[in-house]
Structure 1
Amino acid sequence: MVVACAGAADSATVLSLVVAAHQTGGRVICIIGSACELIQSIESLGHNSRYVEFVTGDVNTLLMSDYREADFVLIDCNLNNCEGILQRARMMGENVSVLGYNALCMDSWRCQSFNAHLLPIGEGLLVTSNKTAKKGGNLGVSGKKSKWIVKVDKCTGEEHVFRI
């Protein structure tokens, strides 16, 4: 799992990936832009930073060279040229899942340009579908078109998102 951050790593986001990686036997790589942000990220994660491999550098270069085999990529939409990064991440392979967080800062027309769904979760979650992936693949999914449904709990105000 690879997460690309615009600034210092968000501890809640990275820790949720650490938990998922622990369950799947994977690893978490966090791409940070500078050494200053790296120090802030390590401090915010505390002792949990030992479960994350931090890398500083250009997101585009690192994704297309060192982490080309990643099966899950999470991109901060506050990054410069996040649309280009999302496009390149989708081209990494058939089985890659690419998501963008902090996506409400993007205009909806920019999401349509690369076949993505903008969900109103947190500051916006962008879910992309890979056009190169086979319909159904080996996941047992039928070829029917699915849709997203958002329901808001009237008492608590919680948003529940379902894919049907």
Structure 2
Amino acid sequence: MKLVWSPEIAAKALVDTVKSCQVIEGSSVAELISAMAAGWNAKLIVETWCRGDMTTTSIGLAVARIHTSGRHVCIVPNEDSKSEYTAAMEKAGMSPEVIIGQSEEAVKGLVIDFLVVDARKNNFDRIVKAAKFGLRGAVLVCKAAPAADVRLLSLFDGASRRVVRSVFLPVGKGLDIAHVAAGEGGSGSDKVKKSRWIRRVDRRSGEEFVFRK
């Protein structure tokens, strides 16, 4: 199965997120991510959050969930983070599901369609590698990603799950976005190990296309 893009739902989510975040710093990132999650019709949207982080992205994801009739789950490290997050989201009129625990362990119990992590967190790579994706694959978003230092693509080289498309966008503090296809067998299969990656970059848009040969 393939992810099918719906521009109508994406546009509606973007407009609703603009209304919710129009006076909040960093709302441009929230609007973009919300439109992406809604446009891909993500049924399980998962993000990680720590105490002191902004909630604009969370508001955008909550808006997207409404448009896809899916679930929005936020993973937080402790009770203090949960209290702060819940209070901020309730103030915005949102009430996503909250899971307390280590993110790289919590994602193992979820089949994710859309995952948002933060490159500033030391364990973001372990979270991505531990995540389970559905038959449609998934869209991954890494926030605050330095263009030259952090690439989601590198986390899947030689793995059973492959990146079919990726792009870095200079929005906010940087967004690294990847579409990961559904797995094609167990990790470390001979077919994958012998594969060769070919990368092509569109010089105008900066979008990166990845092919496996």
Q: Counterpart of 2:59? A: 15
- 2: CA distance, partners of 1:40 / 1:102: 21
Correspondent of 1:75 among 89, 113, 117: 117
User: Is the partner of 1:129 in helix, strand or coil?
Assistant: strand
Tell me if 1:119 matches 2:169. Answer: yes
* Cα distance, 1:7–1:149 mapped onto 2, change above 3 Å: farther
Q: CA deviation at 1:51?
A: 2.4
Correspondent of 1:29 among 73, 93, 96: 73
RMSD, aligned α-carbons: 3.0
Q: Counterpart of 1:60? A: 104
Q: CA deviation at 1:81?
A: 2.0
Aligned residues: 139
Q: CA deviation at 1:149?
A: 4.2
Amino acid at match of 1:78: R
Mind listing any 5+ residue stretches in structure 1 that lack a counterpart? Answer: 135-144, 151-160
- TM-score normalised according to structure 2 size: 0.55
Percent identity over the alignment? 19
Q: CA deviation at 1:28?
A: 0.7
* Cα distance, 1:163–1:21 mapped onto 2, change above 3 Å: farther
Mind listing any 5+ residue stretches in structure 2 that lack a counterpart? Answer: 1-44, 156-162, 185-199
Q: Counterpart of 2:48? A: 4
- 1: CA distance, partners of 2:118 / 2:97: 17
CA contact (8 A) 2:62 2:96 kept: yes
- 2: CA distance, partners of 1:130 / 1:73: 11
CA contact (8 A) 2:118 2:143 kept: yes
